[in-house]
Structure 1
Amino acid sequence: MPINLLHQIQQLLNWPQQLVAVEKRNVFVVYFLVLLATSLDNLNSTAALTMTANIEKEFHTDSSTASWVLSGYALTLGSFIMISGKIADIIGPHNLFLIGLTSVWICALICACIPHSSIITLIVFRAIQGIGASSLVPSTIALAANYFTGRYAKYLPAAIIGFIISLTGTLGFGIILGGAFSETLIGYRSFFFFVFAFGFFCDLVLLFLIIPIKKTTEHANLKMKNIDFIGSALVIVGILLIILGLTEGGENWRSPKAYMPLIVGFFTFVCALVFEILYIQRFKTKHRHLDKASDWRLQMELLFPPDIIRIPNFLPFLIVCGLYYATFTMMLAVGIEYYSFIEEASPIISAIKVFPLTVGLVFGAIIYRASYYEKVGLRNMFILSAAFTLGSCVWFSRTNYEVLNSYWKFGIGSLFLYGYGMNIFFNIYIGAVVANTPLHLQGVVNGIYQTCSQVLLSIGNALVPSILGNLQRATNERMKHELHAKFQSVFYVIMGFHATVFFIMVLFVRNLKKKEEPESEMIDDSVKNEDVCVSTT
């Protein structure tokens, strides 16, 4: 987006925010509305899992093409989320959140009105919607970190729990809503109308009530014109190609459409790292005594600031978070497809059967108490999380259509425990990252985490169809037996991922320390009156 256009949009957003006095806005009400709007991210993703069949029918296309309504959204979401995090740090997460939310509901309305003559148009606008949605999660985490600091710091754990519930609770509801809306008279379109109405309401209210964040001196030094556009372009293209290759690999790994984007995307992303770390950062270190105005390289804002390596457990958390995203989506897909294609359940019934996984996630967030976790030891809780998820995965893998009451023996309890085990990790990890990341780096750091998670999630999405192949409802004993064996192969892969998580938790995660008070000096309101605003009760 051109810098001048972004600045004009930012000025346009500031006008309605001036109509309601800042001191009359309530930070808790605003954050609640932000969480409601953020839930659209996962609703848009998971609902497509159970809407694909209806889209395939309405557009008279095949399942592979219809699946791109989901893949196109995931493709751009994962590719732009890191850049969105960086932009959030520069223009303010409150501004980027409103811009992203606006594009989400506008695209939803367009998707609902697209005629059934060409599915390509629907895929394109879903991809554009993914770009807008890429700003929601990094901006929300950055808002939480900025809103709940100082005298509001005691509310930060509750804010993080609310964020987790907002994301995890919508995973199961999204699948059910997608299936339910597909059964209406206008089919999948009713879901997009719902997203439009929901997003428009949240956006309209927040446009007047959202609380601009305080700017630190580090925030003030960040300029849009100094962003690393070369590195940004390489990252976007690299991640885009990697996710594209992984998506195509779900159909056929031997196809050039799968391995060529992976190879080119990987080397493009490596080029971005080399450009920033080995060239720009070295140049800045070597010439740090010079005036920044003397060379454009000294002014450049890096996508991978060197300070992020100093965040405790940055690399272990990055890997584990990505692996959990991959295994979560694989467990969700395996559950839905097993109940649909072997047990011949409807999309809604299949979604309800895997819903205990979401219940476990939400339950873990609701009962979370930091004091309890600290008594056991945060590192020990991480190990316990890995043990729970690995054990419950083994338990769920025992699911067998030949066993009487198989779901009640191997499904409902294992899925609930799996969700609860995952929640243990996310409760601590998100709080630790927010607490130990400087305010001016909240967006980019969470963007990096989400980018890694989206890439691993795409790997999970690609592995399931590549192992299972083209699925058809098993109508006889032989087909059910063969398909059951393929599902067991997927479970072995999931178990391998969770064994890796357990290994990392035991050997590489260090104990966490309490957050130190930030040393950043707040800039004077009189100097940056246009950009600075205080949070309020």
Structure 2
Amino acid sequence: MNTSAALTLSNDIEKAFNTNSSTASWVLSGYALTLGSFILITGKLADIIGPDNIFLIGLSVIWICSLICACIPHSSVVALIVIRALQGVGASALVPSTVALAANYFTGKLSKYLAPALGGFIIALTGIFGVGVTIGGAFSETSTGYRGFFWFVFAYGLILNIILLFLIILVDRKDGEDKMELKNIDFVAGFLVIAGVLLIILGLTEGAENWRSPKAYISLIVGFFAFLSSLGFEIIYLKRFQRKNQNKDKSTDWRLQVELLFPPEIIKIPNFLPILIQCGMYYATFTMVIVIGINYFTFIEGNTPIIVAIKVLPLPVGLVFGALAYRTSYYNRVGLKNMLILSSAICLGMCVWFSRIDYKSDNSYWKFGFVSLFLYGYGINMFFNIYFSVVVSNTPLHLQGVVNGIYQTCGQVLLSIGNALVPSILGNLEVATTEQAKQKLFNKFQTIFYVVLAFHAVMFLIMVFLVRNHQKENESDDRIDEEDVLGEEKKQDDDCECHVREADSGTESRNSRTNLSYLDARSV
């Protein structure tokens, strides 16, 4: 909600602080910057101090920052950007801790409720996006403007925080978590990750204005190498050192006590890498499509913020509908790979359909926008339902926080790429009032559609060639194990019959002893 509302509040913030669109956009960019940078760290903290604790801390940061944002005077927009960045740190704690909570709550006899619980999470996460866009557009039309939205988030978050202080179910520490301590976090890699992702997202945001700017390409290069350095420090140096000295007393060296941010065992999670790539690309394309819609209806058709919000609403409605309609039986019957291929095919087709929208055509929105946006949201939801279920069910409980942190970090970085590509192609926007200006801007929108289509084509190929239908493999393995057990039982029965025949050929005393042995063997 904090992300989506900023899309339709941007113009009101620009007017209130008497600034330009580029500066006002940092109210959203600063939030996304820290959200994407800290989510991996907060995911690790969820594994150490408990997802219930990290969730409450993150929620508290959000409503406190919203209160401050609502009270900031209009003298400088910088203060608003800084507080929004702090709010993003709090937001980074919510998604990985929420998924980790679900994984911890629904285990054992309650595991059958995990899929519906994640479905509810998807409904909340996707549905509130549409609510945020609408609320942002509505508040921008009132006299309170953007401040009204922050007052709303403050009250909403505070009430939830108070309720959860009494009702949240505490999470017991699991095997593997009892050895985790806050002091053992890899702070070196953590610093490199935060610095790297911050610089990458900063470079992408600056690139939206001018890719030739040193702020853009230098930030990207330095950030990329900083992130690679964090991987090298853990995988090449720390992990090798720990493996080489695994028999030593851990208390003698801090390097033996460090908890890795990127545990090597995460690579063994089925389809970890292809679904990680897909997750990030879905974030990017979803953001691009929604930003395309908002900008198209605003600057070419000249609609008001609330009308724009209503026009793009079918996309989040499709997301919610997909979450409500999804059933685990789809996954079991059709298979992981086929469901993911179907998801990418639907999204690709709907992007082609939506790209046909044209301001010169009568009822263009109803022909090419309304249905295509709805089905596009439905297709995206198919992926996220399966993604959450697969990742949660195949990840050990003590790694839930860090794995979901990795996925969300990838998602936020790719989201920033998508968010930066649209304005980098469109440039500075003003409402087109002449036919020539509209056609020029329309041509730029067509270029963005080609980029989105290219993204979805790559995603489709990844689904087809890299994703493995892990569930079917497990079923075949189970059948093999069952055949082995039956074969072993048959062998034991043959051995028992052999003992009986030997007993019949011996003396009476031997018969009694052998029969006793036979009875013992049969009981075993």
C-alpha deviations, 1:492-522, integer Å up to 9, x for none? 0000000010000000000132899xxxxxx
- 1:57 pairs with 2:23: no
Residue pair 1:176, 1:352 contacting (<8 A) in 2 also:
yes
- Aligned mate of 1:496, from 445, 448, 454: 454
Residue pair 2:140, 2:305 contacting (<8 A) in 1 also:
no
Alignment of 1:199-218 (within 5 A): 199-218=157-176
Alignment of 1:6-405 (within 5 A): 43-405=1-363
C-alpha deviations, 1:214-247, integer Å up to 9, x for none? 2112111111111100000000000000000001
- Counterpart CA distance in 2 for 1:207 and 1:272 is 36
- Counterpart CA distance in 1 for 2:40 and 2:336 is 28
For residues 95 and 514 of structure 1, do their structure 2 counterparts lie closer, same or farther at Cα, with a shift above 3 Å needed?
farther
Q: Which amino acid aligns with 1:237?
A: A
- Counterpart CA distance in 2 for 1:340 and 1:226 is 50
Residue pair 1:436, 1:515 contacting (<8 A) in 2 also:
no
- Identity value in percent: 67
- Counterpart CA distance in 1 for 2:362 and 2:271 is 45
Structure with more of its chain in helix, by fraction: 2
Task: Please give the TM-score of this superposition, normalised by the length of structure 1.
Answer: 0.87
- Counterpart CA distance in 1 for 2:24 and 2:343 is 36
Segments of structure 1 that go 5 or more residues without pairing to the other structure are 1-42, 517-537
Alignment of 1:518-537 (within 5 A): none
C-alpha deviations, 1:33-52, integer Å up to 9, x for none? xxxxxxxxxx0001011111
- Counterpart CA distance in 1 for 2:161 and 2:358 is 46
Residue pair 1:393, 1:418 contacting (<8 A) in 2 also:
yes
- Counterpart CA distance in 1 for 2:342 and 2:257 is 45
How many residue pairs end up in the alignment? 474
- Counterpart CA distance in 1 for 2:456 and 2:309 is 23
For residues 515 and 349 of structure 1, do their structure 2 counterparts lie closer, same or farther at Cα, with a shift above 3 Å needed?
farther
Task: Please give the TM-score of this superposition, normalised by the length of structure 2.
Answer: 0.89
Higher relative contact order (CA 8 A, sep 6+): 1
Larger radius of gyration: 2
Q: Which amino acid aligns with 1:483?
A: L
Residue pair 1:326, 1:461 contacting (<8 A) in 2 also:
yes
- Counterpart CA distance in 1 for 2:330 and 2:425 is 41
Residue pair 1:325, 1:457 contacting (<8 A) in 2 also:
yes
1:473 — aligned with what?
A: 431
Q: Which amino acid aligns with 1:277?
A: I
> How far did residue 356 of structure 1 move?
0.6
C-alpha deviations, 1:235-293, integer Å up to 9, x for none? 00000000000011001000011111111101111110110000001111111122222
Segments of structure 2 that go 5 or more residues without pairing to the other structure are 475-524
- Counterpart CA distance in 2 for 1:507 and 1:235 is 30
1:418 — aligned with what?
A: 376
- Counterpart CA distance in 2 for 1:230 and 1:204 is 35
Residue pair 1:93, 1:140 contacting (<8 A) in 2 also:
yes
Aligned-pair RMSD on alpha carbons? Answer: 1.1
For residues 514 and 444 of structure 1, do their structure 2 counterparts lie closer, same or farther at Cα, with a shift above 3 Å needed?
farther
1:454 — aligned with what?
A: 412
SS in 2 for 1:221: coil
- Counterpart CA distance in 2 for 1:279 and 1:227 is 16
For residues 163 and 515 of structure 1, do their structure 2 counterparts lie closer, same or farther at Cα, with a shift above 3 Å needed?
farther
C-alpha deviations, 1:72-117, integer Å up to 9, x for none? 1010000000000000000000001001100100000000001111
- Counterpart CA distance in 1 for 2:113 and 2:472 is 15
> How far did residue 372 of structure 1 move?
2.6
- Counterpart CA distance in 1 for 2:340 and 2:19 is 45
C-alpha deviations, 1:415-474, integer Å up to 9, x for none? 111111111111111100000000000000000000000000000000000001111111
- Runs of 4+ aligned residues of structure 1 deviating over 6 Å after TM superposition are none
Residue pair 2:335, 2:471 contacting (<8 A) in 1 also:
no
Residue pair 1:240, 1:265 contacting (<8 A) in 2 also:
yes
2:513 — aligned with what?
A: none
Residue pair 1:435, 1:515 contacting (<8 A) in 2 also:
no
Pick which of 433-442 and 169-178 moved more.
169-178
SS in 1 for 2:313: helix
Pick which of 94-103 and 375-384 moved more.
375-384
SS in 2 for 1:218: coil
Residue pair 1:69, 1:122 contacting (<8 A) in 2 also:
yes
